[in-house]
Amino acid sequence: MDEARLFSSARASSSNASAWALGPCSACRIRVGNAGWAAVLAAAALLATAGVWAGTRARDAPVLATFLVVGDWGRLGQYNQSGVAALMGRKAALEQPDFVISTGDNFYESGLMSPSDEAFQVSFANLYSAPGLQVPWYAVLGNHDYGDNCDHAESEPPGCSTAGREFYSPLHQLDTALVAADARWHLQRSYQLVMAGGRVDLFFIDTSPFVQKYYDTEWADRIGGLTEQSWREGLAELSTLLARSRADWKIVIGHHPPRSNGHHNNTQELLDLLEPVMEEHGVRAYLSGHDHNLEHIHLPGASVNYVISGGGSKSDRGFIGAAHSQFQWPASGFVAARLTGDELVLEYLCYTAGAAGDDLEPCYVVRIPRLP
């Protein structure tokens, strides 16, 4: 990595889950229940207007970056988190990723109670201990990192106002004390990574301020919380940076997906406001979580591929549709990415509790060519 540039805006878990390759692909791999792996050959190796390939990956092109993508994970090792972390460690031993991207909801149920909250050690530092995972972790905030659910009995301790407005504040995850505790941790509200001599730009954004229903919650007024943010300024700054970028690859990372077929479905505010900006400026992929599953969505003729990787731990909700979906996995897992000058290769790793021997075989692979 050549440089990291920061910008700040002013403000499914069962063992018999199945994956579906829903779009045209070449040599897609899917997991079919408990029957193991099946190779499925489908017609149309190329989406005619989208230019998205799926199949086995090429290793002959120079690699610009290799990384893992995981979201919605921090549950003290419970709800499959330990199993997914172990699978990530085994994959990292093979791929030697340069970094890991966290798509948010880093600590459940409601973020950290303070910068010294032991959940940081238990859910992150001690859990992702495999040698291959000792690389930078670049994270974004999710709604639970803002305090979502602090008014529910699931939070421990419960109550949004137990110790004042600083209780469950998102500022705890931004505190430099976490970096001192584990140097892998990198999180700002919004920031940009410039890599490979300027050929790759990654843009990390804070999406919770866009979601209008959150402003009516008890947790909206945490110190550093939603009421102190401006989605307009964040969007304007991202638009400016995307317009300035001359990178071959522009990738945006945020917690909420504009498009999803999971339980939460589309995030309408992002669909209306963010998607047009990304399409205008040639963003090739948007990485997110929020829905606790794995999915790949792509519309014919569109620039952006929506990569949902929210299967870092608990995954107890299925899909409610299949609009423009190329692949769905309704349970835990993560995504491994390999970026070359010509293509972005994404491998979906689908976690199944008790799987033996075949868990490093991707359940879906897609090759996304660079825009001309």
Active site residues: 264
CB atoms within 10 A of CB 238: 24
Q: CA 167 to CA 169: how far, in whole Å?
A: 5
DSSP string, 166-219: TTT-THHHH-HHHHHH-TTEEE-SSEEEEEGGGTEEEEE---GGG-GGGGGSGG
Neighbour-count burial for 23-38, b at 16+ CB within 10 Å, e otherwise: bbbbebbbbeeeeeee
Contact 202, 20 (CB under 8 A): no
Q: CA 245 to CA 228: how far, in whole Å?
A: 28
Neighbour-count burial for 94-106, b at 16+ CB within 10 Å, e otherwise: ebebbbbbbbbbb
Contact 106, 173 (CB under 8 A): yes
Which is nearest to 146 in space by CA: 167, 163, 114, 168? Answer: 168
Sign of CA dihedral 82, 88, 91, 95: negative
Strand partners of residue 21: 327
CB atoms within 10 A of CB 329: 30
